[in-house]
Amino acid sequence: MQQPTFTIAAGLEIPRLGFGTFLLDGDDAYRSVRTALETGYRHVDTAQGYRNEAEVGRALADSEVDRDDVFVTTKLTPSHAAAPEVRRSTEESLRQLGVDRVDLLLLHWPAEHVAPLEETLEAMSAVRDDGLTRAIGVSNFPSAMLRRAYELAPIVTDQVEHHPFLAVGPIERVLEDHGGFLTAYSPIAKGEVLADPTLNEVGDAHGVSAIQVTLRWMLQRPAVVAIPKSRTEERIRANFDVFGFELTEQEMARIDGVDRGYRIVDPDGGPDWD
């Protein structure tokens, strides 16, 4: 099934509905990624910190889908932010994934307690120039930090928590100013969208679930990539079944109004959010 993409650069497009793998490990990670690829996902998101790159790589290798048809993202752990570790850990990620390059390499969290941002992004740019990744970006950067990152390197995205209950307007505006895109993790708020009356009312009007409404809402915005995660085959397939209906402008506005600044992921030592 054809799905919308966002153009990162000449010859490089990212499918806007990806498959997240956070908290998937072992056989669960392998089976889930295999199911996602069979369903039609062509974008898989992992990270060094998820400790499942080997299982993701095995699923890619065993799938009938050609490797070049799958957009693969991984992320550097903050402890690998110093220049030598950027390269060493990226090379190790490629070995774990069984690929000669990834499509997108992100810095998972701000890490200036480990190395200056300038050093990290310079090293990430170098591994991109050497062909280990096709693009670079950041994750969990608030808008001021994101703006600074754009001054230092040709990043393409900021991967942050985003769902109907948590708007990220300041981050989106920085991305828009630089031609980048937002990658939304926890896009269905760990399933909490299922209890929202507005999302359910909109879903009922289309014969779909509140989760499907949420993902469709993201896909109808111009520069948002969503990476829902599930370990069950039924939900993996349902999350991908969002291309057969379209939300009206009024419905989009209603969903915009669900925002209440509700953040799920906010660890000790994390950044100061807008």
Could you list the residue range(s) of the whole structural domain that residue 170 is in?
Answer: 5-189+222-247
Report which residue type is found at 22: F
Domain of residue 40, CATH code: 3.20.20.100
Let me know if residue 103 belongs to a domain: yes
Catalytic center residues:
50
Strands 181-185 and 136-139 come out as unpaired
**How far is it between the farthest Cα atoms of the chain?**
54
Q: What is the rounded distance in angstroms from the CA atom of residue 84 to the CA atom of residue 199?
A: 47
Residue 84 CB partners (closer than 8 Å, separation 6+) = none
DSSP letter at 180 equals: -
Domain count, the chain: 1
Tokens describing residue 251: 């419905």
* Position 269 in a domain: no
Cα torsion 173, 177, 181, 185: sign: negative
Is 206 a member of any domain? no
3-state secondary structure of 228: coil
pLDDT of residue 2: 65
Strands 5-9, 12-15: pairing kind: antiparallel
Q: Which residues contact 231 (CB under 8 A, 6 or more apart)?
A: 24, 28, 31, 32
- Structural domain contains residue 75: yes
Indicate whether 240 belongs to any domain: yes
DSSP-based helix, strand, coil % in the chain, nearest 5: 45, 15, 40
Dihedral sign for Cα 188, 194, 195, 200, please. positive
Position 267 in a domain: no
Residue owning tokens 């994750």: 139
DSSP state for residue 189 in the 8-state scheme: G
262 inside domain: no
DSSP secondary-structure letter at 5? E
Whole-model pTM?
A: 0.97
Q: What average pLDDT score do residues 206-211 get?
A: 98
Per-residue pLDDT reduced to its tens digit, 29-73 = 999 999 999 999 999 999 999 999 999 999 999 999 999 999 999
Domain-embedded: residue 253: no
pLDDT tens sequence across 212-254:
999 999 999 999 999 999 999 999 999 999 999 999 999 999 9
Tens digits of per-residue pLDDT, 65-120? Answer: 999 999 999 999 999 999 999 999 999 999 999 999 999 999 999 999 999 999 99
Half-sphere exposure of 88 (CA within 13 A, CB side): 7
